[in-house]
Structure 1
Amino acid sequence: MPKVLVSDKLSKTAVQIFKDNGVEVDYLPDLGKDKDKLLEVIGQYDGLAIRSATKVTEKIIAAANNLKVIGRAGIGVDNVDIPAATKKGIIVMNTPFGNSITTAEHAISLMLSLARQIPEADASTRASKWEKNRFMGVEVTSKVLGIIGAGNIGSIVADRAQGLRMKVIAFDPFLSPERALDLGIEKVELDDLLARADFITLHTPLTEQTKNILSREALAKVKDGVRIINCARGGLIDEAALYDALKAGKVAGAALDVFVEEPAVNNPLFELPNVICTPHLGASTTEAQENVALQVAEQISAYLMTGEITNALNFPSISAEEAPRLTPYVKLAETLGSFAGQLTDSDIKGIRIEYEGTVAGLNVRPLTAAALTGVMKPQLQDVNMVSAPQIAKDRGIPVEVITREQQGAYESYIRLTVVTDKQERGVAGTVFANGKPRIIQVKGINMEAELTPSMLYVTNEDRPGHIGRLGTLLGQLGVNIANFNLGRVEEGGDAIALVSIDGKLADDQLATIGKLEGVKQARALRF
């Protein structure tokens, strides 16, 4: 009988679900806070069910000799070392949609509280001041709500805001015009949203692309008197810049449920009367906590008893029989998606995935999910192989899948094409006998390259001396070349260099490479 440890507070109903499914369970809701005790006992368990209090570090995972699955009741997995878990063959699951309504409702609640200054008015009235004239509010009816991130939660916020008779606009690179039409919202660019919105609410994950999306420069572009709500992630807003904008009156008020440092203690924003703060309560309702607890118990039980994998962040939904044949192609598909995703800046209009040869006869659904995950992960860190197809569907991104028999030299290959307003970018690859994915074509240019953890992608004019200049510059910048792969359309035409390097390129190094004679584009890629 498999054995599961519940190390955070979970519903007693969830504990019963484990028992009903034939899983032995130890309910120790305070153990997650004691990392030494957790380290001591974790080796006894096949499964671990957690919330946010338990920190599943690399050290904990190293000691978890029998652990097969970690289930997070909720969406965020910042407290789990996923690479370490993956390396040890431990499935990491979450419950991505269990608290969407709750978080959306909290955002709406904060917006209304901000509009009517309810917390300050409450404190004043309790102090027997009766300052009726001090708390002049604003209506939300007919106001413009700008949503940054129109995914699952953002779309619910849009629906609720429309019920309040607000005009809703949204910035989201993954939102198609068709999906925006279905939601009844107007898709806009970020600068347009900043200039027009009376209220701005954020519902996007924290990634390199979205970090400080409301930067000092962005806040300078907002409409005077805007009110800002953040129930998503700390770090989406430059807190120091927001403080200055609030003090200056550029921003009329802010309602924050999340902060860069949590628990938030002595944050300067706490000093301001036009700021409402809550302690990361977005998912804190009885219904949401019950939903995610029951869901994670069902998922862990199903995996331990039958091998079924649901909502996994580090493995696709694949049956035990399919796994040996599919696994190398899953890796290839996600790698191709990541390659294209890291090079895509503009709105995605469509994704086409072609399977040819032996791979076309396999179950390509998990491969497609893996490819979509790779495309979206640079901007949506929480996406996984289960949620990726649904996210693409929700955002109106058409995904075309083509299968055909072998036509070329390769026994199997996969080609992924991302369609944007500006171009179609295709990348193709195959799996060699050693099971490792290889790039065989980029943007119609044939080349063969093994993908390594850190790479430099350069498009350039095919001119004599370019390779020497690039190599010399990398040497001057202290960048060591592990491998150098080249391809071109024709003599004197467009060319591509895909360079494996040691270490990570700094922003200033990349900028210098981009200025090199003949270079059209230079990007740092991570795999």
Structure 2
Amino acid sequence: MPKVLVSDKLSETAVQIFRDRGVDVDYLPDVGKDKEKLAEIIGQYDGLAIRSATKVTAKLLEQATNLKVIGRAGIGVDNVEIPAASKKGVIVMNTPFGNSVTTAEHAIALMFAVARQLPEASASTHAGKWEKNRFMGVEVFNKTLGIIGAGNIGSIVIDRALGLRMKVLAYDPFLSEERALELGVKKVELDELLAKADFITLHVPLTDKTRNILSRENLAKTKKGVRIVNAARGGLIDEEALAELLKSGHVAGAALDVFATEPATDSPLFNLPNVVVTPHLGASTNEAQENVALQVAEQMADYLLTGAVQNALNMPSVTAEEAAVMGPWIKLAGHLGAFIGQMTDEPIKAINVLYDGVAAEMNLKALNAAVISGVMKATNPDVNMVSAPVMAAERGVQVATTTQGKGGIFDGYIKVTVVTESRERSIAGTVFSDGKPRFIQIRGINVDAEIGQHMLYTRNKDVPGVIGALGMTLGDLGVNIANFTLGRTKAGDDAIAILYLDEELKPEAIEALRATGKFLQVRPINFEI
């Protein structure tokens, strides 16, 4: 039974989901704040469910010897060192849709608050004042809203803004013209948005490309009297420059839910009369908190129990339906990679994968990850589908994928070719109707080889006596053959044999086979079955 630690405050209903699904769970909502205690116990768990309080560092991951998945209830994963998790083979998943509506609504609320100076007006009235003339606002109707980031949350804000009869400009490098038309917005470059927008709202993650996207230089390009809203991530705006432009009157108002440093106890934006601030409340509704908690519990349970991967940040997503159909093909991909990886002694320059027929219609990112994992296990048995692509990239291994329609007698197959400095080596396989993977071609020689945990590959010249020598030598050593497959290019030329054995071949058996002088190559191959 897989075991999960919930180290931050999460809904009791979410915790119960783990239990109902057959996952052992420890609910310790305060342990995420205790680095030493968390490091002490993390090795016990297969999964870690968190919010923002738990910091998953490379140092902590060193202690997480059994960890397979980290689930973040929410969108932001700033508190998880994803590259370190990937190297450890740990999947990191979030819940990008559970609080989308809530965050979008908060951005709209902030826009109204800064447009009508609602917080100041409320405080003034509570103080017994009646300063009706002091708080002169502006309408949002017919104003131009500039959206930076038209993804999941940004698109919801766009929908709400259009409902308010605003004109919407959108800057997003990944936004296609077709999608912009579908959303009902005009796609523009950033400079045009800055020059024309009456309100600007940000809905992008914090990355190297988006950090300080509203820099001092870009803020200076904005339309005089602009109002700026940020309910996305701190660090997207140069707060010092924004404060100066607010004081000068160039920026008429700002509303921020997020800050470069949080908790924000001090900021140049605090106590300015035309600024609305909230303490990172974008996802703080009962509905959103419940939704993301339930979603992360379901996702983690799905992965630990069925292998389904949803909303992963460092691994191709695989639905439960895909996992059921692709399971045998993922196994095949891993076996092909493992075979060729164990057969290759030189540094690998490239891995080329051909997908034919039904295989070409599947989730190729997941299949590629399985191939690369199989190859890399030959030199590092601890790698998996998460860490192997990272390792391959670090080593400069080029991975290329090709697809084609059904091209032979099989409904589909996968062919893997590894390129080294001196040669290429290839193997192909398919999945039969019984769901069992088979090798169907090695070195261009057609075979029909059942795959077992312990196998033996031999290569020889096609001459009489080789099969007898193989059987006699193994028989004398008490090695039982479960399955025996032969193949050759043509009579008298190269021939190969693939043997499925009942037990792992001992070194003395390998030496005995080589000592016969009958074989050009003798290689034991072992698989995870």
Range of TM-score over shorter length: 0.5 to 0.7
Native 8 Å contact 1:329 1:431 kept in 2: no
Is residue 2:229 matched to residue 1:252? Answer: no
Kindly indicate whether the alpha-carbon contact (under 8 Å) linking 2:99 and 2:283 is maintained by their aligned counterparts in 1. yes
RMSD over aligned Cα atoms = 2.9
Q: Deviations over 1:407-439 (max 9, x none)?
A: xxxx9999xxxxxxxxxxxxxxx85369xx9xx
Equivalent residue number for residue 521 of structure 1: none
Closer, same or farther: CA 20–405 of 1 in aligned 2, 3 Å: closer
Deviation at 1:370, TM superposition (A): 10
Unaligned runs of at least 5 residues, structure 2: 338-350, 369-385, 387-401, 408-412, 425-529
Given candidates 418, 432, 439, the residue that maps to 2:419 is: 432
Partner of 2:442: none
Confirm or deny that 1:210 pairs with 2:214: no
Aligned partner of 2:311 in structure 1 is: 311
The residue aligned with 1:73 is 73
- Do the aligned residues in 2 keep the contact of 1:356 with 1:403 (CA within 8 Å)? no
1:376-426 deviation digits (Å, cap 9, x = unpaired): xxxxxxxxx9xxxxxxxxxxxxxxx963589xxxx9999xxxxxxxxxxxx
Equivalent position to 1:358, from 354, 357, 361: 354
Partner of 1:119: 119
Native 8 Å contact 2:6 2:26 kept in 1: yes
1:313 partner SS: coil
Q: Is the alpha carbon distance of 1:181 and 1:245 closer, same or farther for their aligned partners in structure 2, counting shifts above 3 Å?
A: same
CA distance in 2, matches of 1:192, 1:303: 44
User: The residue matched to 1:48 in structure 2 has which SS?
Assistant: strand
The alignment partner of 1:201 has SS state of: strand
Is the alpha carbon distance of 1:357 and 1:326 closer, same or farther for their aligned partners in structure 2, counting shifts above 3 Å?
Answer: closer
1:58 corresponds to: 58
Q: Separation in 2 of the partners of 1:91 and 1:191?
A: 38
Amino acid at match of 2:419: F
Note the C-alpha offset of 1:288: 0.8
Q: Are the equivalent residues in 1 in contact too, given 2:91–2:315 (CA < 8 A)?
A: yes
Q: Residues 328, 226 of structure 1: CA spacing in aligned structure 2 closer, same or farther, 3 A cutoff?
A: farther
Q: How do residues 376-395 of structure 1 correspond to structure 2 at under 5 angstroms? A: none
Q: What is the alpha-carbon distance in structure 2 between the residues aligned to residue 97 and residue 324 of structure 1?
A: 31
**SS in structure 2 opposite 1:208?**
coil
Distance in structure 2 (CA, Å) of the matches to 1:363 and 1:263: 49
8 Å CA contact 1:328, 1:431 repeated in 2: no
Could you say what secondary structure the match of 2:287 adopts? helix
- Following superposition, the deviation at residue 172 of structure 1 comes to 1.0
Q: Distance in 1 between matches of 2:109 and 2:248?
A: 25
CA shift, 1:368, in A, is: 5.5
Where 2:134 maps in the other structure, the secondary structure is coil
**Alpha-carbon separation, structure 2, partners of 1:101 and 1:108:** 11
Contact 1:170 1:185 in 2 (8 A): yes
- After superposition, the Cα gap between the structure-2 partners of 1:221 and 1:166, relative to the gap in structure 1 and judged at 3 Å, is same
**Secondary structure of 1:271 counterpart:** coil
In structure 1, the residue matched to 2:104 is 104
What is the identity, as a one-letter code, of the residue corresponding to 1:359? Y
* Paired position in structure 2 for 1:367: 364
Q: Does 1:403 align with 2:404?
A: yes
CA distance, structure 2, for counterparts of residue 365 and residue 245 of structure 1: 53
Distance 2:43 2:248 in 1: 55
Q: Which residue identity is paired with 1:403?
A: Q
User: Does structure 2 retain, via aligned residues, the 8 Å contact 1:43–1:66?
Assistant: yes
TM-score, normalized by length of structure 2? 0.64
Distance of aligned partners of 1:431 and 1:269 in 2 relative to their CA distance in 1, 3 Å threshold: farther
Distance 1:63 1:45, change over 3 A: same
* 2:145 is the alignment partner of 1:148: no
SS at match of 1:145: strand
Equivalent residue number for residue 220 of structure 1: 220
Q: 1:278 to 1:431 in 2, by over 3 A?
A: farther
2:360, 2:403 within 8 Å by CA — same for their partners in 1?
A: no
| Contact 1:357–1:404 (8 Å) recurs in 2 | no
Aligned to 2:266: 266
Distance 2:356 2:195 in 1: 48
Q: 1:43, CA displacement in angstroms?
A: 1.3
What CA distance in whole angstroms lies between the structure 2 residues aligned with 1:363 and 1:404? 7
Structure 2: which amino acid aligns with 1:10? L
- Return the letter of the residue paired with 2:116: R
The letter for the 2-side match of 1:227 is R
Q: CA deviation at 1:22?
A: 0.8
Amino acid in the other structure paired with 2:242: L
Q: Distance in 2 between matches of 1:315 and 1:154?
A: 24
Q: Any idea what SS the aligned residue of 1:276 has?
A: strand
2:310 partner SS? coil
Residue of structure 2 equivalent to 1:187: 187
Q: Which runs of 5+ in 1 are unaligned?
A: 331-354, 372-384, 386-400, 415-429, 438-527
- The equivalent of 2:507 in structure 1 is none
Change over 3 Å in CA distance of 1:77–1:432 after alignment to 2 = farther
Q: Kindly report structure 1 stretches of 4+ aligned residues shifted beyond 2 Å.
A: 317-330, 355-371, 401-406, 411-414, 430-434
- Name the CA shift for 1:102/1:370 in 2 (closer, same or farther; >3 Å): farther
Which runs of structure 2 are paired with 1:133-144 in the superposition (5 Å)?
Answer: 133-144=133-144
- How far apart, CA to CA, are the structure 2 residues paired with 1:270 and 1:199? 20
One-letter amino acid matched to 1:71:
G
Residue identity opposite 2:404 in structure 1:
T
Q: Structure 1 length as normaliser, TM-score?
A: 0.65
Q: Secondary structure at the match of 1:358?
A: strand
Paired residues of 2:170 and 2:186 also in contact (CA < 8 A): yes
Q: What is the CA-CA distance between 1:192 and the residue it aligns to? A: 1.1
SS across alignment from 1:270: coil
Counterpart of 1:505? none
Q: How many residues align?
A: 364
After superposition, what is the alpha-carbon deviation per residue over 1:326-384, rounded to whole angstroms, capped at 9, x for unaligned?
A: 57999xxxxxxxxxxxxxxxxxxxxxxxx99733453564336899xxxxxxxxxxxxx
Q: Measured at CA, do residues 63 and 108 of structure 1 come closer, stay the same or move farther in structure 2, by a change above 3 Å?
A: same
- Tell me if structure 2 keeps the 8 A contact 1:358–1:405: no
1:15-54 equivalences under 5 Å are 15-54=15-54
Report the alpha carbon displacement of residue 152 of structure 1 after superposing the two structures with TM.
Answer: 0.8
Partners of 1:359 and 1:370 lie apart in 2 by: 9
Measure the CA separation in 2 of the matches of 1:370 and 1:262. 40
Contact 1:6 1:50 in 2 (8 A): yes
Q: How big is the shift at 1:321?
A: 3.6
Q: CA offsets per residue over residues 433-475 of structure 1, 9 Å max, x none?
A: 69xx9xxxxxxxxxxxxxxxxxxxxxxxxxxxxxxxxxxxxxx
Amino acid in structure 1 at the alignment position of 2:201:
T
